[in-house]
Structure 1
Amino acid sequence: MAMHVWWLLLSLLLSASCFAQDSQQPSRIIALAPHIVENLYAIGAGDKIVGTVEYADYPEAANRIPRIGGYHGIQLEKVLALAPDLVIVWKNGNKEADIEKLKSLGIPIAYSVSKDIRQVPTELIKLGELTGHKAQAEQLADKFNQRYQQIIKQFQGKVSLDVFYQLWPSPLMTTNGKTWIHQTLNMCGVRNVFAEAATEYPQISLENVIAKHPQVIIIPNEKATKQPPQVQWQKWTEIPAVKHGQYIEVDADLLHRFSTRMLEGVQDMCDKLHASRNYYGKRL
């Protein structure tokens, strides 16, 4: 599986939102996940970041930040050379051994742990408290909450659709009802056909998908350097989504990162799903 997708999958496996705070505001931060970088820039603290990891590519300025590692681990000598006064780590995303080494060196640590979309504002405010950008963070958190409620209201009570979310094509993977991707589907007023799967990100077969008869197939667009083999859905016309050509492409960087931009991806997906809803409505 491509490294980029590994980062995205890791971002989907987190379970709450929590930061450990230091008594003084840091001026040299290392951020060990793409979503942490995005959120720091969003609250006006991006200029404090002196180091980060692979695929931290938004906003454009983030591409100029020195890299100290990635999903496979971090290089401690690079961390030390950057002389950080705070490292914000991704709990359950970064290697525990790396975190323990950072602690042993006496480097202040803060944690980001996240799953529920409704916790994005909490993450923003905690980052604001850490960096001295609380006012801007609170303003952004309020804006996020308002847009979240607007999307819920826009699609509440609409006729539902049976939807298959193709998290990854090879091996074929999807998401169950305990993830924030499922939460975004709920926001759009549709049914996740694999909501009852036993694991959060199950590997499934084409036969499993055929048996579920989804009306829409959602395909996230990845920025992986090497694209995996794509599923040739057109062969399986017994699937309603295939028969009616109801495929939706969405931006994985928006939907799979626990950042302020997530709702842009949700709105885009919901709008496209609503177009499919209208398509099927006209055929009834």
Structure 2
Amino acid sequence: MPKLIKQGLTALLLAVLPVLPAHAGVCATDDTGQQVCLPAPAQRIAGLSPGASELLWSAGAGDQVVAVVAWSDYPPEAKTVASVGSHTRLDLEKLISLQPDLVIAWVTGNPQEQIQTIRNLGLPVFSIEPRDFEDVSSVIERLATLAGTEAEGWAEAERFRTGMAELAARYSDRAPVPVFYQVWDEPLMTVNNQHLIGKVIALCGGYNVFGELPRLVPRISDEAVLEANPEAILAGGMGEENRAWLDRWQNYSSLDATRVGNLFFVPPSLIQRPTPRMLQGSELFCQKLEIARGRR
């Protein structure tokens, strides 16, 4: 960051932020293992990803959110909050001018240089990266602790925890269905077994045909999909109602998934954000695999 810009941000920070007491009142450990302590529950919170903002509302802290980023569209109230750029490029001056007393960062989604600048300026940063279902509940509970909204947040965390356990009990032992999940179109991308969506596939009794690949979100080719020959293909697409990504696979009549009509759309926000709505998305995902089983 250029020296003059950094000096300007520092001056702005000193002008708008109050002096914090030395002793912390609430503490929580983030997903990087860093303990974040605040003198009192946060009252002005910035969510630097759509998922982070949604998790804050799930934790009961929606009224305390003063900054979000582009595509923060759920719940609808999030769309009325000031935007500070996108998760990949933050408007730091605007963020600081909103005087947050807690910033929720996305470990692998936000630019680390900008997150470090935020830390250097003295703002508390709590980094999140849920990698399994329990992590989603845990993040909600920790955010509720930092926001002082434990009653609502912990209840929502338990609702999600119980719901996912019920889905696992219902579907995880069903006859396996070989599945390809398309997370992106160009370049063509999927998920491995360590990805949260990969764990949804397993929960529903699916077999991820690309699950053993080393990258969390690997790039693949059409030829690789043809060779794997999944029995079902599921895709999120660009937007909540856009099924266009599935059109690609209609051109491959030799694919088992195409031959029997197992090309399924799942609204991306229900499955690609690590939030409680993943319960709804997982139930829909499991229902699609049940349809595939019924077509055998």
Give the TM interval when normalised to the shorter protein.
0.7 to 0.9
Per-residue deviation, residues 45-90 of structure 1 (Å, max 9, x unmatched)? 1011111111111000100111111133211210121111111112
* Residues 1:126 and 2:142 aligned together: yes
Q: Any idea what SS the aligned residue of 1:87 has?
A: strand
> Of the candidates 105, 109, 115, which is equivalent to residue 99 of structure 1?
115
**Share of identical aligned residues, percent?**
30
- Distance (whole Å) between structure 1 residues aligned to residue 110 and residue 200 of structure 2: 25
- Distance (whole Å) between structure 1 residues aligned to residue 71 and residue 82 of structure 2: 12
Q: CA shift at 1:16, angstroms?
A: 4.7
Q: Any idea what SS the aligned residue of 1:84 has?
A: coil
Aligned length: 266
Q: Any idea what SS the aligned residue of 2:180 has?
A: strand
Q: Which residue of 2 aligns with 1:275?
A: 291
* Residues 1:181 and 2:197 aligned together: yes
- Distance (whole Å) between structure 1 residues aligned to residue 127 and residue 37 of structure 2: 9
Per-residue deviation, residues 169-195 of structure 1 (Å, max 9, x unmatched)? 222111112211110000000101111
The one-letter code sitting in structure 1 at the alignment partner of 2:40 is Q
Q: Any idea what SS the aligned residue of 1:196 has?
A: coil
* Residues 1:74 and 2:90 aligned together: yes
Q: Which residue of 2 aligns with 1:194?
A: 210
Higher Rg of the two aligned structures: 2
Q: CA shift at 1:99, angstroms?
A: 1.3
- Distance (whole Å) between structure 1 residues aligned to residue 260 and residue 246 of structure 2: 19
Give unmatched runs, 5+ long, in structure 2: 1-29
The one-letter code sitting in structure 2 at the alignment partner of 1:250 is V
Greater relative contact order structure (CA < 8 Å, 6+ sep): 1
Q: Which residue of 1 aligns with 2:10?
A: none
Matches within 5 A, 1:254-273: 254-273=270-289
Q: Which residue of 1 aligns with 2:237?
A: 221
- Distance (whole Å) between structure 2 residues aligned to residue 169 and residue 276 of structure 1: 23
The one-letter code sitting in structure 2 at the alignment partner of 1:59 is P
Per-residue deviation, residues 89-131 of structure 1 (Å, max 9, x unmatched)? 1222211111121122222222222211221111011011101
The list of structure 1 runs, each at least 4 consecutive aligned residues, that deviate by more than 3 angstroms after superposition, is 15-19, 226-231
- Distance (whole Å) between structure 2 residues aligned to residue 77 and residue 47 of structure 1: 22
Give unmatched runs, 5+ long, in structure 1: 1-14
- Distance (whole Å) between structure 1 residues aligned to residue 246 and residue 170 of structure 2: 33
TM-score, scaled relative to structure 2: 0.84
Matches within 5 A, 1:133-144: 133-144=149-160
The one-letter code sitting in structure 1 at the alignment partner of 2:41 is Q
* Kept in 2: contact 1:71–1:93 (CA 8 A): yes
* Kept in 2: contact 1:222–1:251 (CA 8 A): no
* Residues 1:145 and 2:161 aligned together: yes
- Distance (whole Å) between structure 2 residues aligned to residue 277 and residue 21 of structure 1: 50
* Residues 1:242 and 2:225 aligned together: no
Please tell me the root mean square deviation across aligned C-alpha atoms, in Å. Answer: 2.2
Q: Any idea what SS the aligned residue of 1:111 has?
A: strand
Per-residue deviation, residues 7-65 of structure 1 (Å, max 9, x unmatched)? xxxxxxxx957662323111111111111211211232101111111111100010011
Deviates more, 1:256-265 or 1:200-209: 200-209
Q: Which residue of 2 aligns with 1:163?
A: 179
Matches within 5 A, 1:15-34: 16=31, 20-34=36-50
* Kept in 1: contact 2:54–2:74 (CA 8 A): yes
The one-letter code sitting in structure 1 at the alignment partner of 2:232 is V
- Distance (whole Å) between structure 2 residues aligned to residue 63 and residue 101 of structure 1: 26
Q: Any idea what SS the aligned residue of 1:158 has?
A: coil
Q: Any idea what SS the aligned residue of 1:26 has?
A: coil
